[in-house]
Amino acid sequence: MILTVTLNTALDITYRVRSLRPHTTHRVSEVTERPGGKGVNVARVLAALGHEVTVTGFAGGSTGRIVQDALTATPGVVDALVPIGGTTRRTIAVVDERTGDTTQLNEPGPAIAPAEWSAFLEAYEDLLAPASAVALCGSLPPGVPVGAYAGLIRTARAAGVPVLLDTSGEPLRRGVAARPDVIKPNADELAELTGSHEPLRATQDARRRGAHAVVASLGPEGLLALTPEGRWRATPPTRVHGNPTGAGDSAAAGLLSGLVDHLPWPDRLTRATALAAATVRARVAGEFDRGTYEELLGRVAVIGEVSAA
């Protein structure tokens, strides 16, 4: 079982309009709702790949009930969200059908009470016992300590469970120091962490700060990985046009899937890059187009060098 942690879960709502224009009224042509938050997105992709996944984090209020009902109906996904008194946030994605661009509106998360955080920590320790890997993903809601991910990483390491961390800002900086097995920042998050806008230098700095392996998401240019086993660059064969929302989460799912399947790093990166590109191609934000994924698996270019160590 793979465990994904989403402390700031959401109900993702996607509106499609013919053309998005400021200061006007729009007629929505299609509305889609689904459970969201980075770790939930990762779980959905992992389940589609055939893995058993448990989702934990927080859920509350009417939107929280919708999220939990949808998770329960998702094959391969087990809902282990911890109940809270607040209401789970919503995120709104407005897709301009003329240009393909997406405008994102993200609500803040509900405040987490100390007793609710304690209940989560107890549940997390129990869920680690059967886990083969854990993903810690996304932003922290109000009330959760800024060093929360660092503590969760240490708990997982003590249980012998490998950890992927995908967050940003101060939670990422503190989390890296706890020595996660993999971090997966995008280029901006990596630059904020290290102060360097040169990807290779930044990944080297991030490893020195404590990350066992660093996989940087470079958008349409693919992934750059620096690991104890070597350094690789993975790129899709062509630039894929569409909605990039959730592409990074799909890449994280690919990396986790490859980890638990004991694949070598080049194969993990191939899987992650193909999934990210297939997510850009999908009609609904955060899903992935299986046909595109299967086609790209054999066409992703991975170049690099194996470490002599």
Q: Which residues pair with 94 in a beta bridge?
A: 15, 103
pLDDT tens figures, 66-117: 999 999 999 999 999 999 999 999 988 888 888 878 888 888 889 999 999 9
Mean pLDDT of the chain: 91
| DSSP one-letter string for 232-288 | EEEE-SSPPPS--TTHHHHHHHHHHHHHHTT--HHHHHHHHHHHHHHHHHSSSTT--
Q: What percent of the chain has pLDDT over 70?
A: 96
Q: What percent of the chain has pLDDT over 90?
A: 68
Three-state secondary structure call for residue 42: helix
pLDDT tens figures, 233-278: 998 887 766 667 788 999 999 999 999 999 999 999 999 999 998 8
Distance CA 276, CA 183 (A): 16
Q: Per-residue pLDDT for 307 more than 70?
A: no
Assess whether 261 carries a catalytic annotation: no
The active-site residue, picked from 126, 249, 261, 267, is 249
pLDDT tens figures, 104-133: 888 888 999 999 999 999 999 999 999 999
pLDDT tens figures, 159-209: 999 999 999 999 999 999 999 999 999 999 999 999 998 988 999 999 999
4 φ/ψ angles, rounded to the nearest 5 degrees: -115, 140
Three-state secondary structure call for residue 11: strand
Three-state secondary structure call for residue 191: helix
The predicted model gives 282-302 an average pLDDT of: 77
Distance CA 237, CA 235 (A): 6
pLDDT band for 309, please (50, 70, 90 cuts). very low
**What's the maximum distance between 2 C-alpha atoms anywhere in the chain?**
61
Please give the model's pTM, rounded to 2 decimal places: 0.90
Neighbours of 121 (CB within 10 A): 14
Q: Are 44 and 70 in contact (CB under 8 A)?
A: no
**Closest Cα partner for 61 from 114, 9, 132, 128?**
9
What pLDDT shows up at residue 178? 96
Which pair of structure tokens corresponds to residue 86? 């607040």
